[in-house]
A = this chain, B = another copy of it.
């Protein structure tokens, strides 16, 4: 299983980029690539932005991939449940693409393509910070799967 992470919008915060890189580097033996999907220009309406970004997101996804979008109205997991979910995905062995959206969420096109919707929280986080949270959560999941002593409950 290869993992692709799509972040929508150029990260402007170097601190976040640096934290994300640190966590992803600590995940060993898994092929992870990160792609930045260009965010839509702010001069358009929210709906137009979402739909433009949606088309960009879809263009980064292959038909064969399993797509999980991060969405605060998605299924919520504990860290351990997320690890179990990820382990089941590994067994299914399709490549998996996680999509971490921009400021305004996803277009219907993206919702339609998504195989799974994952919520990190009922709260809305900044789309910058959510990248760091997700990278840490992915690292945490792999330490749980590998039985490493990182996660405490």
Binding site for B on A (CB under 8 A): 13, 15-16, 18-19, 46, 72, 76-79, 82, 103-105, 120-126, 129, 132-133, 136-137, 140, 151-153
Contacts and interface: CB of A to CB of B under 8 A. Distances in A.
Integer count of this chain's copies in the complex = 2
A153 B133 contact: no
Given A78-B122, A79-B123, A125-B133, 13 more contacts: A15-B15, A15-B16, A15-B18, A19-B129, A78-B124, A105-B152, A123-B137, A124-B152, A126-B136, A126-B140, A129-B136, A132-B132, A133-B133
A62 B129 CA distance: 32
20 contacts: A15-B16, A15-B19, A16-B19, A19-B129, A46-B152, A72-B78, A77-B123, A78-B124, A79-B123, A79-B124, A82-B123, A103-B152, A121-B121, A121-B123, A124-B151, A124-B152, A125-B137, A126-B140, A129-B133, A129-B136
